[in-house]
Structure 1
Amino acid sequence: MTFSRLLVILSLFVLTACGAAEPRWASEAEVSRARYVSNEPTSLTLFTVVGKRNGSGAHSGLMVNAPSQRAMFDPAGTFKHPHLPERNDVIFGMSDAAVAFYVDYHARETFNVIEQTIEVSPQVAEFALARIQSYGAVPKAQCARSISSILASIPGFQDAPSTMFPNKLTRYFEAKGATSRLHMDDSPDDNSGLIQAPDLRLRGDLTVALAE
């Protein structure tokens, strides 16, 4: 077998194992319509999905609450909602109801969700918002790696570790003095047909959240 053919085979294996990025680009009208501004302090919030059986980290997401809007960077995630437009793994319209649904989607009988928040200045929050929007679509299994790369470029977080492991980011946020919250749920592991998507359309400053 030639060396060049071996490289081709290895490349195909990597793409099969990790999965290619899935670019998405919602229209400007959709993003503008969904924009949500929170009255909470400007901050960065790390969400870590952790297996209940062995405590292994399964997924990472980073929410940025900036003065202009609150958005979620959910790299290579499966979370989707028809009222939350997405641009390359950045989900807009993250109202309180949308955040609650994001947590409910991930927390189940086999997984807990750790939510860790660090308050930052408005300027740092806007910088972080720009960084998640410019990063691009993320390949599968690269969620923690992409978030660690983004954090390392943000003032005050340049010491963030470069890692592929969600739990390492959790420990980093803990060491930075993050406020933590544990979300637990006993809903079935296969939630694809069991979780009702609430109405998350924004009307002025109000969020319609009809989970019934």
Structure 2
Amino acid sequence: MIRIVIACLLAATVAGCVGPQRPQADFSEIAARSYSDPGPSTLTLYTMISTRTGSGAHTSLMISGSERVIFDPAGSFRADVVPIKDDVLYGITPNVERAYRSSHARETHYARIQTIEVTPQQAEIALQLAKQSGPVAGAFCTNSTAQLLQQVPGFEQISTTFYPVKLSDQFGQIPGVVTTEYRENDSADLQAGLAANNALLNQQDTALAQ
């Protein structure tokens, strides 16, 4: 187990799975930015994978139900227009979702994106579990996501693991999961990607306000 944690920490350091503590939004900020997607209720598992070794580097879960959020345990993503409480990112509009995947996809990593349609009840359970999870310790992104999924009816077969790709493989075996990949070839610097997408989101936000 110690070797597993050490391996996760090494991978997470490269991918941004042990980012510094993020600023905490208050409830008024969250309410102002809340977004509900008009489509069906879904769960979307993101797995950030090294283009060089094929090993997993980060895991997160987008939950689309009564509102759309991303459970981003021990993640590094932050943007001025995205309120964060513990490890939940709020206000996940289509623009924010694109910025999230774009920030992680770069020369050294790509995003495996797996989506499954669920009932509104399943989505609401996942949403409440994410909000109740509290801040997650570095390198426990996959472990905490697996434990959340285990508690959602219909996903009890998910086994706890520290390895992002192993969780992705399990998730992909569930009937109805649609898997895609998202790749970019820009700078390997995660912080550069975060800064660029933050600026883009700010521009889009300003345009919408005019």
Q: TM-score, normalised by structure 2?
A: 0.84
Task: After TM superposition, give the deviation of residue 159 of structure 1 in Å.
Answer: 1.1
Farther-moved stretch of structure 1 (173-182 vs 131-140): 173-182
- Quote the residue 1:171 is aligned against: 169
Q: 1:169 to 1:116 in 2, by over 3 A?
A: same
Match for residue 180 of structure 2? 181
Quote the residue 2:201 is aligned against: 199
Partners of 2:116 and 2:178 within 8 A in 1: yes
The CA distance in 2 between the partners of 1:91 and 1:114, in whole Å, is 19
Return the offset for 1:173: 1.3
RMSD: 2.5
Structure 1 residue 22, shift from structure 2 partner: 3.6
Counterpart position of 1:55: 54
Counterpart residue number, 1:137: 135
Shift of 1:25: 3.2
Residues 145 and 33 from structure 1, CA distance in 2 versus in 1: closer, same or farther, beyond 3 angstroms?
Answer: same
Q: How far 1:43 moved relative to its partner?
A: 0.7
**What is the match of residue 8 of structure 1?**
none
- The unaligned stretches of length 5 or more in structure 1 are 1-12
Q: How many residues align?
A: 191
Q: Which has the higher helix share?
A: 2
* Equivalent AA in structure 2 for residue 199 of structure 1: L
Counterpart in the other structure of 1:110: 108
8 Å CA contact retained: 1:200, 1:208: no
Q: 1:93 to 1:52 in 2, by over 3 A?
A: same
The residue matched to 1:26 in structure 2 has which SS? coil
Deviation string, structure 1 residues 86-116 (Cα, Å, up to 9, x no partner): 0111000100110000000000001010000
Could you tell which deviates more after superposition, 191-200 or 86-95? Answer: 191-200
1:200: Cα distance to partner? 5.7
After TM superposition, list the pairs within 5 Å mapping 1:113-128 onto structure 2. Answer: 113-128=111-126
CA contact (8 A) 1:22 1:139 kept: no
CA contact (8 A) 2:24 2:85 kept: yes
Matching residue of 2:91: 93
Stretches of structure 2 lacking an aligned partner (at least 5 in a row): 1-5, 13-17
Shift >3 Å, 4+ stretches? 16-25, 200-203
How many Å separate the matches in 1 of 2:173 and 2:191? 35
> Structure 1 length as normaliser, TM-score?
0.83
Percent identity of equivalent pairs: 32
Alignment check: 8 A CA contact 2:99 2:197 kept:
no
How big is each residue's C-alpha offset from its partner over 1:138-192, in whole Å with a ceiling of 9 and x where there is no partner?
Answer: 0110000000110111100111111001001110111003101100110010142
Cα distance 1:136–1:181, how it changes in 2: closer, same or farther (>3 A)? Answer: same
User: CA–CA distance in 1 between the matches of 2:60 and 2:186?
Assistant: 21
What letter corresponds to residue 120 of structure 2 in structure 1?
Answer: P
Relative to structure 1, the CA distance from residue 91 to residue 201 in structure 2 (aligned partners, 3 Å threshold; closer, same or farther) is farther
Q: 1:155 is matched with which residue?
A: 153
